[in-house]
Structure 1
């Protein structure tokens, strides 16, 4: 059904201002990223870190893109942080322009609206320069087509050759229908090249002052040369004449062979148009995100200035309480009970660092930091298929982090939650102390723990912060405010009482806790060495 441009623009503008939630088919959305992730780059966010930062949910929150190409480029951008301040400033300028200039935004929305079919996801298959699949028996297609024509024409001088025409007709027809479904599946992305070309051409002609659109004239011209061949597959024939010719002369196979060569030759042009179109769509999505959320533009400085986050919040947490943090010289050790906000705060810091270097936008009032690579260990789990215990998964993950920091010291921001909790108390504290002390000179570290003893063991290289809760006889609540210093209260047993555990359980737990605390802190001496601190920790557990 035909719809006027004005009606389409009203619909697109409303969707841009308040995007409707939509579920994403991530294997298709990630198709472009999967093709290019092994190319040289400053950084690619590992799967574990992407999962720890709730990357899929973050993508869906940001996804106000119009086109499938834009979706794929946004996903790729979020997983490929940059260390190029000029490129990030240019992207910020693009998002700002599209937010502030309705005419430019309208032109971009209408151009991108041509690339909404699901088949557009498969355009990413054409940008790698790898050849399209070869058809079985493709080298025989020219011979079979020539054989049919030769016997057909030769039969006018030697009629017996028409027997060969009949044979070739049968062979070619079988060959055609045998490969027709395969060809239709392979050419799906080719059928979208025309839409990609039109979208790129309209964006280029709109003369938007965006960096990727400036050199687009030559790639558009090269892409246009492919379209003349691809157009053959888009011709509709209601009378069946063309289908008959395709079957007899194997036209599908012959044209596909030429398209296959052309696509491989012009893959850089296809990619240039694809990425330019996706860039504009990403900038539109970020402009929409900025309209809906309180954000700031990040600033980047030398490592000596540290990382400074002001009123940072997590955009996936409704009503998230903002917090400040400065990382300069020392690492940060977070303590606090479960649900108090430790992990959410670490995710907040990680999301701000990630978005700063991908979309030049931070959910905070101010963010200043050096360029860094985010690595996390927040949501590990044991692996049943490989038979790995939780502790072994932890140990292997931390080994990878240690190797990464050794290879590029000073370039990582590490967010670590309760390391080595899959083992006993004494060895957990000892391993934590050793690993965190090793990492601190080599990276920016924020680590959460329930082991308060680590504060004393690491006081020379870590500063302590904590989150706490308030427990009353009737209720408990968290203020989610980051506070300086170690946690000085314990409310775990009081929470059990608030949850109506049996009175005997509560009384026994309180009595044993008091006994252990007395044994751990005798009046005559205070623990002063790491060994004594670890021994005390054993007594209190």
Structure 2
């Protein structure tokens, strides 16, 4: 930012301030003329002051950041952290040459705090700045010094940024009940993900699950059984592995992925896009990335194409997931359409979550199980929420009739009162 300011010189300020001298001397000979001359000089300085101040004001914040950074680094260099001895020693060397930037910084910074105080000394300092351009003079000096030390400032930024990151990661690791250092493969085109006893770090009492995915994973299961949470758990750990080298798991082994997701989507009233349009845009983005074949792609899709009718959803979702598999993408997808488990069995491994019904209540173990789901609970959940018994019986009968005949019938005589 400071580089765009151009070269600046204090020559005009020095010459302008020297104009006061002859009028000060004239005060002893002709006081009236001397006073008029000093007042005119002051008026000229004040007018030019605000013009110059307007030029440099946007850049003063750059000095404020540098000065604050120096203060922080001085606190950091006092710390006794053996593992960061090299960084702290380097910080001390950099600070030796940067401390001089603070000399005279008061005149630059004190007048740019955005406060109007009643302290007589501050008011006097403000007038001295206007009639002598003291802050502009000091700004130009600091600018000249800083331009010679940009390398040291960049080093200071790099070290503080690294230590800030390390402190954050250390704090995050400390907050977990345990963690692992992921094993990441850099030079491989094969997409795989092996994770043992992983959990979502935001859950206070998580159920840990393991997955060994050498090809795509298709998740089925009843409502609220844990499908979406499992997808998020794997996705979050993949991102954590590739960013802060930390996983909420016993072990994690995978290549470095491009990671995409199509989850928790919403329609857009502002853009005039329905939920389905938002869905297919999101999936198209993943397909485009998979088609480039530069880096292994890992993607997570929750309820594939839920925004459209059953027939077209199953047909389109099946072909999209097949295309992703053929492109070498490692896809994790969740669906309520059991039909897709058969349509995709050559490309995806089936896993599911299920519920346990006990004493008229539904419990969710949240344990990942191999194979496709064999239970349903949507109508049962209506019953537990207090829906009318007539609705429950007719819905159950209609569902059972469809499973037997493959046809939907809505005449009372044709609906048997089955149970879910």
Give distance in 2, aligned partners of 1:217 and 1:372: 38
Deviations 1:172-198 (A, max 9, x none): 336657859957973542441331341
SS in 1 for 2:78: helix
- Take 2:127 and 2:235, find their aligned partners in 1: how far apart are those partners? 60
1:497 equivalent to 2:370? Answer no
How far is the alpha carbon of 1:509 from its aligned partner?
0.8
SS at match of 2:396: helix
**TM-fit CA distance, 1:243:** 3.8
1:482-521 pair list within 5 angstroms: 482-520=368-406
- Larger Cα-atom Rg: 2
Change (3 A) 1:387 1:341: same
Give the match for residue 310 of structure 1.
196
The match for 2:413 is none
Q: CA deviation at 1:209?
A: 4.3
How far did 1:164 drift?
4.5
1:156 aligns with 2:25: yes
User: Which whole-Å CA distance do the structure 1 matches of 2:192 and 2:165 have between them?
Assistant: 29
1:166 corresponds, among 39, 43, 47, to 39
Q: Deviations over 1:135-180 (max 9, x none)?
A: 9xx9898646633432543663697576443223124336657859
1:455 offset after TM fit, Å?
1.3
Q: Cα RMSD between the aligned structures?
A: 3.5
Matched, 1:298 2:177: no
Q: In terms of mean alpha carbon deviation, does 143-152 or 467-476 score higher?
A: 143-152
Structure 1 residues 14-93: aligned runs within 5 Å: none
* Residue 223, structure 1, aligned to residue 92, structure 2: no
Counterpart Cα distance in 2 of 1:164 and 1:407? 76
- Aligned counterparts of 1:375 and 1:325: Cα–Cα separation in 2: 19
How many residues are paired up? 388
Q: CA deviation at 1:345?
A: 0.9
Per-residue CA shift, 1:284-331, capped at 9, x if unaligned?
343343344221222224565831111101110121100000111x20
What CA distance in whole angstroms lies between the structure 2 residues aligned with 1:142 and 1:327? 71
The answer for unaligned runs of 5 or more in structure 2 is 112-118, 408-420
Query: Within 1, Cα distance between the matches of 2:330 and 2:109?
Result: 55
CA deviation map 1:314-371 (0-9, x unaligned): 110121100000111x200011123211111111111211222222221111111122
Q: Which protein, 1 or 2, shows the higher relative CO under an 8 Å CA cutoff with sep ≥ 6?
A: 1
Match of 1:450 in 2: 336
Structure 2 residue aligned with 1:250: 133
Paired residues for 1:375-394 under 5 Å = 375-394=260-279
Q: What's the counterpart of residue 355 of structure 2?
A: 469
- Specify which of 156, 159, 172 is matched with residue 273 of structure 1: 156
Give SS of 1:168's match: helix
1:497–1:141 distance in 2 versus 1, CA, 3 Å: same
Change (3 A) 1:445 1:268: farther
Aligned 8 A contact 1:335 1:452 in 2: yes
**Distance 1:261-1:442 versus aligned 2 partners, 3 A rule:** farther
Q: TM-score, normalised by structure 1?
A: 0.63
Structure 2 counterpart SS, 1:156: helix
Contact (CA 8 Å) 1:201, 1:220: kept in 2 or not?
no
Of residues 399, 413, 425, the one that matches 2:310 is 425
Measured in 2, the distance between the counterparts of 1:245 and 1:448 equals: 71
On the 8 A contact 1:409/1:443 being kept in 2, the answer is no
1:189 aligns with 2:65: yes
- Confirm or deny that 1:357 pairs with 2:242: yes
Alpha-carbon distance between aligned partners in 1 of 2:102 and 2:343, rounded to the nearest angstrom:
68
Q: Secondary structure at the match of 1:429?
A: helix
2:73–2:91 contact (8 Å) kept in structure 1: no
**Alpha-carbon separation, structure 2, partners of 1:410 and 1:141:** 55
1:446 positional shift: 0.6
* Alpha-carbon distance, 1:443 to partner: 1.9
Q: 1:227 to 1:322 in 2, by over 3 A?
A: same
Question: What is the distance in 2 between the residues matched to 1:513 and 1:207?
Answer: 67
Provide the C-alpha distance between the structure 1 equivalents of 2:221 and 2:144, rounded to a whole number of angstroms: 62
Match of 1:87 in 2: none
